Structure 1
Amino acid sequence: MARTIALEVLIKYQNEQSYLNITLNDYLEHSRLSRSDKDLATRIVYGTIQNKLYLEYQLAPYVKGKKIKSREKMILLMSLYQLIFLDKVPDYAVIDEAVYLAKKRDNFAGKFVNAILRNFLRNGKREIDETDQFKKLSIETSHPLWIIKMLSKQYDFETARKICQHNNTPPTRAARVNTLKITKTDLLKDENFSEANLSPDGVLYKAGNIANTDYFKNGLVTIQDESSQLIAPLLDPQETDLVLDMCCAPGSKTTHLAAIMNNQGKIVAYDLFEHKIKLVKDNLKRLGVNNVELHAGDATLLKDHYPKAVFDKILLDAPCSGLGVMKRKPEIKYHDSSAMDTIILLQAKLLDNAYYLLKKGGRMVYSTCTINKKENELMIKQFLEKYQDMKIVEEKKILPYIYDSDGFYMCKLEKGK
């Protein structure tokens, strides 16, 4: 049953380009799987997508010149993932289940899948015989060649290798203590929590899904990566401030701002989509936040709705390519690189609005969960060239392998008086 659900999730992702985490959670919530089977389904789904290019490289000699349906190919890829990466799963169990899944649609498909997987077991893993270091790393780590080349150019090849290898490791179970309801000292009395690596408000959880705990349900903690937890403190909102959060969903940083402000002052928070606003509302309620005014609206048009220079502090956690969260969302790796051109234009428009709305002497933070310099350092460079009364106060970049966290960029800026 675990493999049946894993296959259904993978096919839905393949056909509809759905978000893996949302699709998987939906299937698991409506299943009767045991905790261990849910864990297996999760590992198969994420492992198959994380290692997709490598698995396709292993599969290639066995399907060359053959017509293969997309469903059969996905069964083969997820089965190869289990045979190569999951030591505790017996080979015969993987093959038997793969044949069963294939036979559901076509008896011949079962024989085809059986033959390929048994041939693979006889021959063993195929060595990567690429001499080009970029192509070899692309196959080894299942990152498209354009990502390898971009990271190598912007940083260096060794850094690119570390990032890509780290992206294929399991994500940490990081959470943020909600200081509106509990202290970190009190939370750490539960041995299932431990100190985080990076964030002062962060904890790591050792015992499964945090969202299933009473700590989460009662709003004592919220799920948030450690790098992301550094952004609200960087903005440093005061209890008397009027704060604008331009792109607030799902509300992790919004609620962190509120906690720092002790539910005082006012946060005006926007997101483009109504359904995402509902997620933010749910988080506000769960965490006991009551100083946020929520709006569904386009943040690139905000300067048409507010007077000039009205906000003390502004957070612009901008839409981005997401290249810092590929470990958590492996499907991001396979997005078309051309989509970044549209995102960069959007980021520039949002920054224009932030500048217009920020008070003289006010401070803002621009942040992204990408490590692409075009969306980060170069974006800020262009912004400063355009608005010469703005200056950088502090700038941070966190590469994902350094603290075992998401990759993030954040820049605090001040507007001249």
Structure 2
Amino acid sequence: MAKKRNSRLVAAEIIALWMENQSFPDRQLAKVQNDHAFILEVVNGVVRNQNIFQWLERQWLKKSPQPFFRAVLEVGLYQLLFMENVEQYAAISETVDAAKGRPGGPGNAKMINAVLRRAQREGEKVFQLLEKQPAHIRLSHPKYLMDRWTRQYGEAAAIRLAEWDNHPPATVLRIEQSAIDADEFKEKLREGGIEAEVHPFSSYEIFLQLPRGIAVKKVPGYSEGWFTIQDPATSVAVDLLAPRPGEAVLDACAAPGGKAAMMAGRMKGQGELVAMDLHDDRIAVLQENQKRLGLDWMEIVRGDARKPQALDGRTFDAILLDVPCLNTGVLRRRADARWRVDEERIGKIARLQREILDAGAGLLKEGGRLVYSTCSLEAEENEDLVAEWVQEHPEFVLEKTEKSFPPESGVDGAFAALIRRK
């Protein structure tokens, strides 16, 4: 039987990979088999608090360690400064051990041990000093992003938004009411010892917030397709599109499939529902959820939303374009996304979004409707882009927009615009 790996080491390896090449931590986290909840919290916590750790390292170290040893150090710092349910002795001991097996390990392990002992002694002082730092440091967001939000929403709202991003996200599930009655499902949860609360955002769809620490695959009804995991903000775009039974409907950027499942429920299995995505790994996720939810009548197509030749010239009554975006409305779920926002990337992503909107609009039937949506809060991806596009395309009309600002809505950030072909 293989020896269980040091979970601090596993977390540090994922973080070091992210530091070195900006790889997506969630892809590595999906491969973790043991201590998943602990490693997930540590990895996301370290990535989220980069500005704080770098500020602290500037105070305490003469030079920054190599990425792997810096990752190990920050794994230890996160446990000592931010995790209340971790035994400090074990946090220090196992974190130091994680550093020892690499070239240069003994010397770096000694440095890490000294810094962690200091953090253990001076933790309260660290937070007192941190309170005096600028907002982008104490709230660990890029200064560029904090400045943008301050200009767009005002200083107080920008701070509230950054504070929201730093709270661990709740796990929320949407009941598949075509598979099970809501009251029956809640009773099944209670029988399984799970007391879930109805999310206040629930209306047409019923969302339940799970207690912390519940493994999703162990929730009653997972294999039977009784629910999907998704934030209530996902319903904003589907509510605007309002797909109906008998229509031809396209979800052009569909993976992982939560919105497609929501649309399938509203169509009651009647009509044509096509879920399209580009990459094989995302198609695999779509297929897995299709099977689990019993959506055999939904068609899955591998295709590029910018050049949808895979659809063979078909047209649709309703199209959802949930386009790739900067994710600034979901930074509490995508801790790494905050560090990828800059002027160049905003321009690049906006050009991609316009290409998808151009292509999607060409697939609409006369009188058909389209919802353009993002989980971003940036005007260049949302209001400004849509207004400019509609002005350039007089055969379309912008009927309505919706926006979720997390500190006010209590759900993820989202934007959706309903556009109709005249």
Aligned residues: 404
Pairwise CA distance, 1:171: 0.4
Which stretch shows the higher mean deviation, 165-174 or 148-157? 148-157
Residues 217-232 of structure 1 aligned to structure 2 (within 5 Å): 217-232=223-238
TM-score (norm 1): 0.91
Once the two structures are superposed, residues 212-261 of structure 1 have per-residue CA deviations (whole angstroms, 9 ceiling, x without a partner) of: 32422210001111101332232111111011211111111111111110
| 1:60 aligned residue | 58
Once the two structures are superposed, residues 36-63 of structure 1 have per-residue CA deviations (whole angstroms, 9 ceiling, x without a partner) of: xx43222211111111111211121111
Pairwise CA distance, 1:305: 5.6
Residue 407 (structure 2) aligned to one of 397, 401, 408 = 401
SS in 2 for 1:375: coil
Pairwise CA distance, 1:67: 5.7
Conserved 8 A contact 2:142-2:338: yes
Distance 1:67 1:248, change over 3 A: closer
Residues 340-351 of structure 1 aligned to structure 2 (within 5 Å): 340-351=346-357
Distance 1:179 1:97, change over 3 A: same
SS in 2 for 1:370: coil
Inter-partner Cα distance in structure 1 for 2:352 and 2:16 = 31
Pairwise CA distance, 1:129: 7.4
| 2:126 aligned residue | 125
Conserved 8 A contact 1:231-1:367: yes
What residue ranges of structure 1 are gaps of 5+ in the alignment?
A: none
Conserved 8 A contact 2:241-2:318: yes
Conserved 8 A contact 1:369-1:409: yes
Pairwise CA distance, 1:356: 1.8
| Paired letter, 1:175 | L
Conserved 8 A contact 1:303-1:357: no
Residue 299 (structure 1) aligned to one of 293, 305, 308 = 305
Conserved 8 A contact 2:9-2:72: no
Residues 278-317 of structure 1 aligned to structure 2 (within 5 Å): 278-302=284-308, 306-307=312-313, 310-317=315-322
| Paired letter, 1:78 | V
Residues 191-340 of structure 1 aligned to structure 2 (within 5 Å): 191=190, 192=194, 193-200=196-203, 201=205, 202-206=207-211, 208-302=214-308, 306-307=312-313, 310-337=315-342, 338-340=344-346
| 2:113 aligned residue | 114
Inter-partner Cα distance in structure 2 for 1:170 and 1:304 = 39
SS in 2 for 1:300: coil
| Paired letter, 1:81 | Y
| 2:79 aligned residue | 82
Once the two structures are superposed, residues 175-208 of structure 1 have per-residue CA deviations (whole angstroms, 9 ceiling, x without a partner) of: 1111221122222223333211213321212261
| Paired letter, 1:400 | P
| 1:138 aligned residue | 136
SS in 2 for 1:410: strand
Which stretch shows the higher mean deviation, 242-251 or 180-189? 180-189
Inter-partner Cα distance in structure 2 for 1:89 and 1:270 = 43
C-alpha root-mean-square deviation of aligned residues, in Å?
2.1
| 1:24 aligned residue | 29
Pairwise CA distance, 1:314: 0.8
Distance 1:96 1:300, change over 3 A: same
Inter-partner Cα distance in structure 2 for 1:360 and 1:54 = 53
1:44 to 2:42 alignment? yes
What residue ranges of structure 2 are gaps of 5+ in the alignment?
A: 1-5
| 1:103 aligned residue | 100
Distance 1:273 1:176, change over 3 A: same
Pairwise CA distance, 1:15: 3.0
Distance 1:303 1:9, change over 3 A: closer
Distance 1:129 1:116, change over 3 A: closer
| 2:364 aligned residue | 358
Pairwise CA distance, 1:265: 0.2
| 1:94 aligned residue | 91
Inter-partner Cα distance in structure 2 for 1:70 and 1:269 = 40
TM-score (norm 2): 0.90
Distance 1:300 1:67, change over 3 A: closer
| 1:184 aligned residue | 182
Conserved 8 A contact 2:253-2:322: yes
Which stretch shows the higher mean deviation, 83-92 or 70-79? 83-92
Inter-partner Cα distance in structure 2 for 1:24 and 1:209 = 14
Pairwise CA distance, 1:136: 0.9
| 1:72 aligned residue | 69
| Paired letter, 1:413 | I
- What percent of counterpart residues are identical? 28
